[in-house]
Structures are given as structure tokens and as C-alpha cells.
Amino acid sequence: MIGILLLKQISGLSDEGVWERWVHDSYFQNFTGETFFQHEIGHERSGLSHRRGRLAEKLELLLAESLRVAHATGALTARDMERVTVDTTVQP
């Protein structure tokens, strides 16, 4: 599910759109751990919105660790973090 959420965000797709593309895109399937091409979705499509809430804390930890590693390896500098743009289009 984390892979699906990442693909959704990276590709700018809706919940339904990411599943539709997943069925037809072997790269999407490989990214989410499939070893053979699947012709049907093995998950409940509505499960994405349900699991998003449960994964929110883990996604924040994943983001924090990614930023820490990027900073430690020199891929991210303090100057890169001076201005952060936050997308809040889904906020109430």
C-alpha cells in the first residue's frame, strides 16, 4: 500500500486512477513488489483511503528518515530546506 500511495503521489493520479494504471503498467506492479504481471487487482480498491489514515504516521517517519539520509549523504543541504512548499489542497 505504501508503494501505491507513493506512485499515486508521484504520478499525480486519483485513487481510482492509480489502480487503473496499476492493472496495465508492469512498472507500477514491479514497484509494489509483484514478481509476475497481474491482470486483476489483488486488493480492495476502497482500501487505499482506509489504509492511508493508518499509514499516515509511518509515512511521516519514512519521509523524515529519507530527509535524514539525504542530508547525511550530501544530497540535501540546509540551504535546500530554507524554503519548503507544502501542498495543502486536501486539508479541510
| HEC readout, 3-61 | HHHHHHHHHCCCHHHHHHHHHHCHHHHHHCCCCCCCCCCCCCCCHHHHHHHHHHHHHHH
Q: Output phi, psi for 37, to 5 deg.
A: -65, 130
Digitized pLDDT (tens) for each residue of the chain, 92 residues in all: 778 888 888 888 888 888 899 999 999 989 988 999 988 887 666 667 666 666 767 777 888 888 889 989 999 888 887 887 776 666 55
Angle in degrees, CA 42, 48, 54, rounded to 5:
120
pTM: 0.54
Domain spans of the chain, in order of start: 2-80
